[in-house]
Chains A and B, each alone.
Chain A
Amino acid sequence: MKLSEAPTGVQVEVLHIEESDITPRLRGIGILPGIKIEVLKNAPMGDPRMYRVFSKVITLRNSEANLIEVQVSEDSPLPLTFVRPGDYKVEYIEGGKIARMNLASIGIVEGAVIRLLGDRRVQTDKGIYDVGFGKLSKVHVLPMKALFKADNAK
């Protein structure tokens, strides 16, 4: 994934930086392979965006952020629309009462374990549902594997 494509609010880890004129400056700021970056927010038109590198807040245009290849950190919750099919635990739901009620009626509540199927349908305790894109993006999840690892570490 490119840094410019990472959703806001998640933490990503830098994998690789494409060489360009500004690479020395990016290195100086601390954008290096292995470093974690937090995506903070978008400007009104979605470009540029704010990132946190260590404790400094910097802005990068998407054209520069495109040079940076990243992967989402394992312990960072992601919206359901961003993840691969698999088992997930719902971390939190970003939405009002009505959205929460609707999601709860099909078994998606905070803390529940759900399975995302290959055809983008969601399997919960209550059955298999076809959930709209808008609602899916409000559900932030963590993969079960990462949770398992974290528990072991404790």
Chain B
Amino acid sequence: MVITVGLVGNPNVGKTSLFNRLVGARQYVANWPGVTVTRIEGATTYKDQTLHFIDLPGIYTLSTTSIDEKVARDFLLYTPPNVTVVIIDSLSPEQGIYLLLETLELNLNVIAVFNVIDEAKKNGIKIDKSSLETHLRVPVVLTSAHTGEGIEQLFETILATFKKTNRAKLLDYGPEIESKVSELENCFDDIYNKRFLALKLIEGDKFARELLKKDVDVSSILDGSASNLAVKIAKTRYDYALNVLNSAMRKNENVLTSMEAIDHVFTHKYIGIPIFFALMYLAFNFTFKASEPLVGLIEAGFQKLTDVIGSSTMLTSLISQGIINGVGSVISFIPSIFALFFALGIMEESGYLPRIAFLMDKAMCSLKLTGRSFMTLLLGFGCNVSSVMAARGLSDERERVTTILVSPFVSCSARIPVYLMIIGIAFPNHKAEAFFVMYLLSIALTALSARIINKVVMKGESIPLVMELPRYRFPSLSNVATYMWNRGKHFLQKAGTIILVASIIVWGLSYFPDPTNIENSFAAMIGKGLQFIFAPLGFQWQTVSALLFGGAAKEIIVSSFAQFYGGIENIVIDPVIAATLMVFILGYIPCFATLAAIKSETNSLKYPIISVVYSLFISYVLALCVAVVGRMIL
């Protein structure tokens, strides 16, 4: 027997951490709203019962304005789970109870969970469980995903609720609304939950209108008063919620004092933005200083290994040059990548990121992007694929497509080794600065592209921003480690698959037909054949071939360079060409995985093609500017 359990709740109430607790998963829990855009599933067994948990996106209401809300609503409406757990933030329960009351209208087996009870206790909030149970007429469990309190009890309650057959009584909205509801109920087919749909129809949800019986006209029932009634419905729910809380909860006024203190400075009128840039710079500097010794250690290890194996025969050459040198040159940058994500993880964990969105919103707004899409783009620093996918959470179609199209310009982790390699060779004395500039440039290019795409491809007006600012919390080491691992493991997986294969292909192309001289290899022929295109930028054939292979995945550039020159330490690039090359690599083409994601998310071939053509064009132009200006200065 499988019991399905749906987890519903406001954004950022700790649904995902509770989910991790329940099924022992390792989903990363971000301290900003909108992390879960699709549903995440996981199973566990408790007392010989299989419990199948579904973590739904965070929502405020079951009326739908964006795709993540639709995912949650459709799931509850069309495939109702055996038990629905509504998770409520103990520190700000009003909105959670509103959602609970809405969920109850779906006539499901509901359990109300008051989460983060540990923090609530610390803040002097007292919650009377039995009083809540009497008023809400559903089982109530107090939990903390952080300490594990109440989890056992939640399992028990799920089993008990699952067996129960009598459903909770619903709210009464008063004679005026109730009469309209019963009239409207007749306009829906029996297969749906009629009361829920009737209420949603009054609330003005377009989706409910589509589910009406074919030849029914509701305009006579829903005359001009609908918006008034909608307010009345919401008001009834909130009044009920406030009444319940009044009797069941002793609350300390203004629990957010310490948050206010921190926010006062972090979102300060004058120094908020400088602090942000200073912290970003520290994060990048940390990436270098902390990882440099480890990178050196790994590089030295691989170097020893290649020397031992040698490259006299074809087989040893394949192993030492193709595999160890090719893949090893990429792997040795792993400490840097993990260090960067460690630093970014702390920022995200602490709840600082949404404040940046708040600070930068005005600037983003002039680019016709919201703070919300800014945060989506920040995901792209890990991998562009994830930011393309996360764009689903954006409610506005135009904004969603723009975000998807500009995502490839966000400098993803795959580009880190490439920059690190080039910077290490050409700018040994200004590593962090050069790296920081590349990231700034990446952000500028993203912004510029958003502007261009908005002007040329799509036209429309600005999009609303309704965002909740989460509480600050002290970043826990295990959470930061999970974040670091989830972002970085992708890189390791790629090293074992696509980069390994590509390295072997690159080795083959540079080994044959003349193993003694790489200048006569196939790779050199290809590179020299195409060199004329890049002549204005001053690239040599090695660079051209590496760029060509790197189209599949950016790390392959590093592995190709390492093989063409027989090791990273043998490469020589002068600073101007290095800068040109980095600027070109920043944008030149989205990797295969990103292109595939763009295609599946936009459901058309048009956008991947636009993306390739546009990015090649703009990065060539930018690189040319850098080359010309660079030569004038030096």
A54 touches B94 (CB 8 A): yes
List chain B residues, Cβ under 8 A from A63. Answer: 462, 464
A27 and B231 in contact, given A55-B91, A60-B465 (Cβ under 8 angstroms): yes
Is B67 among interface residues, defined by CB-CB distance under 8 A? no
Is A138 among interface residues, defined by CB-CB distance under 8 A? no
B464 touches A56 (CB 8 A): no
B466 touches A58 (CB 8 A): yes
List chain A residues, Cβ under 8 A from B95. Answer: 28-30, 53-54, 56
Q: Shortest distance in angstroms between A150's beta carbon and chain B's nearest beta carbon?
A: 17
B230 touches A61 (CB 8 A): no
A59 and B371 in contact, given A24-B65, A30-B238, A64-B466 (Cβ under 8 angstroms): yes
Cα of A19 to Cα of B60 in the assembled complex, Å: 18
A61 and B61 in contact, given A34-B235, A55-B92 (Cβ under 8 angstroms): no
Q: Identify A61's interface contact among B59, B92, B259, B465, CB under 8 A.
A: B465
List chain A residues, Cβ under 8 A from B358. Answer: 43, 48, 50, 59
Q: Identify A44's interface contact among B230, B259, B269, B371, CB under 8 A.
A: B269
Size of the chain B interface, CB-CB below 8 angstroms: 45
List chain B residues, Cβ under 8 A from A154. Answer: none
Is A5 among interface residues, defined by CB-CB distance under 8 A? no
Q: Shortest distance in angstroms between B409's beta carbon and chain A's nearest beta carbon?
A: 25
Q: Which of A1-44 contact B (CB under 8 A)?
A: 17, 19, 21-30, 32-35, 40-44
Q: Shortest distance in angstroms between B200's beta carbon and chain A's nearest beta carbon?
A: 9
Q: Identify B234's interface contact among A22, A27, A58, CB under 8 A.
A: A27
Is B77 among interface residues, defined by CB-CB distance under 8 A? no
B98 touches A64 (CB 8 A): no
Q: Identify A28's interface contact among B63, B272, B462, CB under 8 A.
A: B63
Q: Which of B197-228 contact A (CB under 8 A)?
A: 203-205, 227
- Contact size range, A: 35 or more
Q: Is the interface of A mostly helix, strand, loop or mixed?
A: mixed
List chain B residues, Cβ under 8 A from A32. Answer: 231, 234-235, 238
List chain B residues, Cβ under 8 A from A23. Answer: 204, 230
B371 touches A25 (CB 8 A): no
B227 touches A19 (CB 8 A): yes
A60 and B362 in contact, given A28-B95, A32-B238, A33-B231 (Cβ under 8 angstroms): no
Q: Which of B262-281 contact A (CB under 8 A)?
A: 263-264, 267, 269-270, 272-273
B65 touches A22 (CB 8 A): yes
Cα of A40 to Cα of B92 in the assembled complex, Å: 17
Is B99 among interface residues, defined by CB-CB distance under 8 A? yes
Q: Which residue of A lies closest to B461 (CB)?
A: A63
List chain B residues, Cβ under 8 A from A30. Answer: 94-95, 98, 238
Q: Identify A58's interface contact among B98, B362, B467, CB under 8 A.
A: B467
Q: Identify B63's interface contact among A24, A33, A42, A45, CB under 8 A.
A: A24
Cα of A29 to Cα of B466 in the assembled complex, Å: 9
Q: Which of A53-96 contact B (CB under 8 A)?
A: 53-61, 63-64
Q: Which residue of A lies closest to B92 (CB)?
A: A55
Q: Identify A59's interface contact among B59, B259, B260, B465, CB under 8 A.
A: B465
Is B256 among interface residues, defined by CB-CB distance under 8 A? yes
List chain B residues, Cβ under 8 A from A50. Answer: 263, 267, 358, 469
List chain B residues, Cβ under 8 A from A45. Answer: 362
Q: Which residue of B lies closest to A33 (CB)?
A: B231
List chain B residues, Cβ under 8 A from A60. Answer: 465-466
Is A47 among interface residues, defined by CB-CB distance under 8 A? yes
Q: Could you mark each residue 279-293 of chain B with 1 if its beta carbon is under 8 Å from any beta carbon of chain A, else 0?
A: 000000000000000
A48 and B465 in contact, given A19-B227, A55-B256, A56-B92 (Cβ under 8 angstroms): yes
Q: Shortest distance in angstroms between A137's beta carbon and chain B's nearest beta carbon?
A: 16
The 8 closest A-B pairs by CB, nearest first: A28-B60, A28-B61, A24-B63, A55-B92, A54-B94, A45-B362, A27-B234, A57-B469
